[in-house]
Amino acid sequence: MKKYLALSLAALLLLCFAAGCSLTTGDPEASPTPAVTDESDSTYDLTAVVAEIGDEKITLGEVKETFDSYISYFTNYGYDLSSDPEMRAMLLDDVVNSLVEAKLISVKANELGYAEFDEEEQAELQERIESELEELDAYYRAQAESEAESDPNIDVDERTMELILEEAAYNMGDEDATYDEYAAFLTETVTDTYIQELLQNDQLKDVALTEEQIQAEYDSLVEEQMTYYAETPEAYKYDEEAFEKSGTAPVAYAPEGYSRILHIFCAFEDALPSEYEANEADMALIEDEYGALAFAAALDGTAGDAGKMQELVAQYKELQSANEEMYETYSSAAREKANELYAELAGGADFATLVKEQSSPDAYSDYSIFAEKGILIALDYACDDDWSDVVKEQFSKLSMGTYSEPFADEDGYHIIYYLADEPAGIVELSSIEEGIRGYLLEEIRTTEWEAIIDAWMNDGTVTLHEDVYNVLLDA
């Protein structure tokens, strides 16, 4: 877990292609510190100043380290930027822009007094710091305990500390960093984040939505989605469930053909032995060989090689029996649990309660809404993150208000309840207004925050020396 400073490819690509605030502060000034120590020497002066933000500075060394890490990530994923100078220049500008923005926000937060905490803020900050350190220990302790399960010689406490210090070395760029030094580093990081959060929330406290904005957004969603789901109705399941899980843009129009089910799931807890798959492969080969012999015999009008065919049948049955035994061991616990829950349902237990309390974890179990509202299913569409064909077949046999007997697919045992049909057509504004308000307000806050940062960028606080960091494009 490389926290804070670790870079992902997704973040890298977003950084390169997303439109953001322009790092322009008028005509860039010439640097007071050359970036190259000698005109005939390509060695960089890593102490050269790339940007001045109030009394703070960003050096070429800081920019180069971040820029190189991005280039490395591109290379690791097969993107060679050496032949794309335009992309390299865009990436470098975005790296500098990100570093300057982060430093600028910190400078403004301190300048405006947000680093001076009242008693309540200090308590909240301390709680965040303690939580961060506790999560750090818990994360690596779990990893150390997992390693110790296969190697009893591992001391969990010592291994936990080793892993924490590996992260410290990565994030701090110091192989000799101690735990106390890393704890101080994390404390400073959490504090900076908290200060910037106080600043942003205060700067945006008056940002609000009007009813006209909400109505306009709703009308736009309806118009777009009526067309979209008419063409791609299979996308509705993913989009609606994404909204229900995380509050993304709500769905304002539902196509025909969807229903809702409640789902009790009893997962297979262990993997089938590798021998099972090997037997399956061998059985397939036996079928092919037997079929070839039978076909040849039919063509010749003879009994064929009856002895060989009997031998193949015996081999097949032996493998089949072994696999049935392995599958029984693999599936029995899940089947027994499913049967127990089925008996509870027959005795009057509430289906939704069993979903919440007894169902195995799945993609829906962390969201209580699905144990109440049900999960989408459609027989006519092949959706993303869809149900198995076995589940769909069992659903097709149910009428609304009834539930299935336990049945298995490759994931485990299921009991499903046909809860309702999804109403098709336009969704009333009142049903999704809260969802629209949530994401639309965040969009407006983001736009306003970018405008504030742009204003700070151009109020004289930032002095940028493009000639210093552009030498990195010549590498």
> pLDDT digit string (tens) for 73-93?
888 888 888 888 899 999 999
In the structure, what pLDDT confidence band is assigned to residue 42 with cuts at 50, 70 and 90? low
Higher pLDDT, 34 or 289: 289
Q: State residue 21's pLDDT score.
A: 38
The answer to whether the beta carbons of residues 444 and 207 sit under 8 Å apart is yes
Q: State residue 25's pLDDT score.
A: 41
CA distance 143 to 137: 10
Phi and psi for 184 in degrees, rounded to 5? -65, -40
Phi and psi for 203 in degrees, rounded to 5? -65, -30
Q: What is the 3-state secondary structure of the chain?
A: CCCCCCCCHHHHHHHHHCCCCCCCCCCCCCCCCCCEEECCEEEECCCCEEEEECCEEEEHHHHHHHHHHHHHHHHHCCCCHHHCHHHHHHHHHHHHHHHHHHHHHHHHHHHCCCCCCCHHHHHHHHHHHHHHHHHHHHHHHHHHHHHHHHCCCCCHHHHHHHHHHHHHHHHHCCCCCCHHHHHHHHHHHHHHHHHHHHHHHHHCCCCCCCHHHHHHHHHHHHHHHHHHHHHCCCHHHHHHHHHHHHCCCCCCEECCCCEEEEEEEEECCCCCCHHHHHHHHHHHHHHHHHHHHHHHHHHHCCCCCHHHHHHHHHHHHHHHHHHHHHHHHHHHHHHHHHHHHHHHHHCCCCHHHHHHHHCCCCCCCCCCHHHHHCEEECCCCCCCCCCCHHHHHHHHCCCCCCECCCEECCCEEEEEEEEEECCCEECCHHHHHHHHHHHHHHHHHHHHHHHHHHHHHCCCCEEECHHHHHHHHHC
The answer to whether the beta carbons of residues 433 and 274 sit under 8 Å apart is no
Lowest-confidence region among 5-14, 77-86, 194-203, 306-315 = 5-14
Q: State residue 82's pLDDT score.
A: 81
pTM of the model: 0.67
What is the rounded average pLDDT of the residues 430-455? 93
pLDDT digits 0-9 by tens, 207-229: 999 999 999 999 999 999 999 99
As a whole-number percent, the residues of the chain with pLDDT over 70 amount to 91
pLDDT digits 0-9 by tens, 127-163: 999 999 999 999 999 999 999 999 999 999 999 999 9
Burial status of residue 410 (CB atoms within 10 A of its CB: 0-12, 13-18, 19 or more): exposed
What is the rounded average pLDDT of the residues 46-70? 93
What is the rounded average pLDDT of the residues 29-34? 50
The answer to whether the beta carbons of residues 73 and 421 sit under 8 Å apart is no
What is the rounded average pLDDT of the residues 242-266? 94
In the structure, what pLDDT confidence band is assigned to residue 44 with cuts at 50, 70 and 90? confident
- Does 6 score more than 80 pLDDT? no
User: Considering the chain, what is the average pLDDT of its residues?
Assistant: 89
Q: State residue 35's pLDDT score.
A: 52
What is the rounded average pLDDT of the residues 9-14? 46
- Does 41 score more than 70 pLDDT? no
